Structure 1
Amino acid sequence: MCLNKVRVAVNGYGVIGKRVADAVALQEDMALAGVADVVHDYRLQVAAQRGFAIHAATFEAEGTMRAAGLPLAGNLAELLAKADVVVDCTPKKVAAINKEVYAAAGVKSIFHGGESHALTGHSFVAQANYASAIGRESTRVVSCNTTSIVRTLGALRTAGLLKRARGTLIRRASDPWEAHAEGIINTLVPEKAIPSHQGPDARTVIPDLDVVTIAVKASHNSSHLHTWWVELTRPATRDEVLAAFRAAPRIAFVRSSDGLVALNSTVELMADLGRPRGDMWEVALWEDVLAVDGDQAYYTYQVFNQAIVIPETIDAIRALGGIESDPSASIARTDAALGLRHDFIHDRD
């Protein structure tokens, strides 16, 4: 490591990779060694404008990237030689091959939810299991939906309120930038398996979580929506449940009474707040929709799939890099650098 900063490489400069690179660049204890990819489209052209060191991820891609005028700083091997940790943001299943490359280069590696838990033997959400990732050679930051499940159910669990949970996920059909190529129009597609994969995936982070999820894919691409029924360990008040969410990191309240009545209105709010790319890193939980009846709680929240895992990835870098042993300190540092909030309109911070 150089000057007490962990040097970070980002392999794959797409939806997640470009956001990870931006977030790394904002951290005082990290240095972006560079980014790698195999394409030469507008995303890499923008990376060049930002002054990021661009590398060809494969030998085959190097020629076309140079021919397109990209100022290449080298290849993937040269990028890894300058890094302590690499964040793999390549397409699903490509990372399994890359892991051997990273290990051979002696670089610690972070993967994302498209890969299986078995790839690393460790799955990560900062508030739940940061300590177990410290010093590891690799970890997997779980998917956007699984991250939200661990954040919210983890908050109730920490407060001693969670017995079991059952959730329904209304999933977006595609990422916005891919809407021209794929998607669902004027219909819903139920996932074939119950539980859907998010519940079992959450147990890779919190093994004793009693959770079942059902998912459908809908004809929109702004974000995901979750609705949850939770059986509490005892009768509780609505204020107690709200306090549990309020005490947890990376959960922010929204209210229908403020005009935030749908997914698109919250997405519009992020733009109005000046968020880069309109990103929402928090779980947006509707405070005025949440209801509690004895030992039963019901709530709804929104998951912005393009950005929610970014703060978790930054914390995973610190854990693997061994530069911060206190989970709360890392979370606070990440959230301050990115500008996370606990309430989008009436922030008490």
Structure 2
Amino acid sequence: MNSVKVAINGYGVIGKRVADAVKAQDDMALVGVADVVDDYRIKTAPLLGVPVFAATAEAADRMRAAGIAPAGELEAMLAQADVVVDCTPKKVAAGNKQLYDALRIKSIFQGGESHTLTGHSFVAQANYATALGRDSTRVVSCNTTSILRTLGALKQAQLLKRARGTLIRRASDPWEAHQDGIMNTVVPEKSIPSHQGPDARTVDPDLDVVTIAVKAAHNSSHLHTWWVELAREATREEVLAAFRAAPRIAFVRTHDGLSALNSTVELMADLGRRRGDMWEVALWEDVLTVDGNQLYYCYQVFNQAIVIPETIDAIRALSGIETDAERSMAKTDRTLGLVRDFLSATDREPDA
């Protein structure tokens, strides 16, 4: 099988996880990762068998001084690649796109960039086909990804009319919580709707969705609460069946002791997941309530990992090595180990 050659620019929270995921695919080959840092974050890469490149000449000098031997600079890495996944900090990637375009390398960006950068935003179950063969796309943010997965499940079941959600966002990524954060307060976002609802419509323009967001004093993950007006009266069992039929949603239950964000994070570690990652939307089955055509539910978004499966699927779509969304998603989910129910002994792999 021919492998698509993948380069990763930025080896931070998302970049290192994309690197892990690319290495797990038999139809992809990791060329290497590039960055500007010379601390523990990039020093772990060679220990994991990941080739390191310097994003700039200055970074190369700092790396060598820190005992890191870069395999080359950014353009040398890109010259070997078919697709680059840009995981650089927010707003940096826009400048990088000019280089990728000049080198005629396909490029994938993260949700911190604007939709206008690529003219296409991506969630695999929603619009895989429209990404086929494109030169670039943008994998939407963690929260927007979760919105499209869950509302997409209801839409697929012809149950969705409109949705209104509240997002309780984590204050910072865990690794940088010592640098900034929020203590003993909750900060509302300044505008309603918050950006996630409009962002979801860049992928699926038909969604009638409004989001409100607040930032809270924790850093484990995000919590969403949703009110949905259904297209008709439905039973709780119908709604649960719609979520069960959708990819990348897994149920949790308060009666299992999974009653808060921290308990689910602990469960991922207990299950032995690499980096303790949760790629699925963790939806509380026993909290979900249906009253006629009114649906109420809540779920958890592990912001560090939820977009990783989407990124792998985006690589396949842009490169054209897989034209069928369901086949790509099934392969991605199988190789990463996604499940439909975290505590089911018979569900250790997703449906193929």
TM-score range, shorter chain: over 0.9
Distance in 1 (CA, whole Å) between partners of 2:345 and 2:281 is 15
Q: Secondary structure at the match of 2:344?
A: coil
1:341 and 1:347 in contact (8 A); partners too: no
Q: Does 1:139 align with 2:141?
A: no
Alignment-derived partner of residue 106 in structure 1: 104
Q: Deviations over 1:135-182 (max 9, x none)?
A: 000000000000000000000000000000000000000000010001
Taking only aligned residues, the RMSD between alpha carbons, in angstroms, comes to 0.7
TM-aligned CA distance change 1:347 to 1:191, over 3 Å: farther
Matches of 2:123 and 2:250, distance apart in 1: 17
Partner amino acid, structure 1, of 2:96: N
SS at match of 1:332: helix
Q: Residue 283 and residue 58 in structure 1: after superposition, are their counterparts in 2 closer, same or farther (change >3 A)?
A: same
Q: Alignment partner of 1:344: what SS?
A: coil
In the TM superposition, structure 1's runs of 4+ consecutive aligned residues that sit over 4 Å from their partners are none
CA apart distance, 1:346: 2.1
Shift of 1:58: 1.0
Letter matched to residue 270 of structure 1: M
Counterpart residue number, 1:340: 338
Where do residues 233-244 of structure 1 align in structure 2 (5 Å cutoff)?
A: 233-244=231-242
Cα distance in 1 between the residues matched to 2:346 and 2:319: 33
CA distance in 1, matches of 2:246, 2:203: 16
After TM superposition, list the pairs within 5 Å mapping 1:305-324 onto structure 2: 305-324=303-322
**Equivalent residue, structure 1, for 2:350:** none
Out of 266, 275, 282, the position equivalent to 1:277 is: 275
- Cα separation, 2, equivalents of 1:347 and 1:220: 31
Match of 1:85 in 2: 83
- Cα deviation digits, residues 271-295 of structure 1 (max 9, x gap): 0000111100000000000000000
Where structure 2 has 5 or more consecutive residues not aligned to the other structure, the ranges are 348-352
Give the corresponding residue for 2:4: 6
Q: Do the aligned partners of 1:88 and 1:112 also contact (CA within 8 Å) in 2?
A: yes
Cα distance in 1, alignment partners of residues 44 and 63 from structure 2: 14
Bigger mean CA offset, 66-75 vs 225-234: 66-75
Q: CA deviation at 1:247?
A: 0.3
Residue pair 1:342, 1:348 contacting (<8 A) in 2 also: no
Matches of 2:110 and 2:296, distance apart in 1? 29
Q: Which residue of 1 aligns with 2:257?
A: 259
> Relative to structure 2, which stretch is displaced further, 28-37 or 41-50?
41-50
SS of 2:108's equivalent in the other structure is strand
Of 60-69 and 95-104, the range deviating more from structure 2: 60-69
- TM, length-normalised to structure 2: 0.98
Partners of 1:75 and 1:285 in 2: how far apart? 43
Q: Which one-letter code corresponds to 1:325 in the other structure?
A: T
Task: Go from structure 1 to structure 2 and tell me whether the alpha carbon gap of 1:307 and 1:210 turns closer, same or farther (over 3 Å shift).
Answer: same
Identity of aligned residues (%): 77
Q: Hey, what does 1:329 align to over in structure 2?
A: 327
Report the Cα distance in structure 1 between the residues aligned to 2:67 and 2:80, rounded to whole angstroms: 23
Given candidates 72, 75, 85, the residue that maps to 2:73 is 75
Offset of residue 347 of structure 1: 5.5
Corresponding residue for residue 303 of structure 1? 301
| Equivalent position SS for 2:326 | helix
After superposition, give the CA deviation of every residue in 1:284-309 in whole Å (9 maximum; x if it has no partner).
00000000000000000000000000
In the alignment, which residue of structure 2 is the partner of 1:170? 168
User: Unaligned 5+ residue runs, structure 1?
Assistant: none
- 1:72-221 matches, cutoff 5 A: 72-221=70-219
Aligned residue in 2 for 1:48: 46
Q: State the shift of 1:348 in Å.
A: 4.7
| Residue-pair matches, total | 347
d(CA) in 2 for partners of 1:275, 1:55: 28
For residues 60 and 123 of structure 1, do their structure 2 counterparts lie closer, same or farther at Cα, with a shift above 3 Å needed?
same
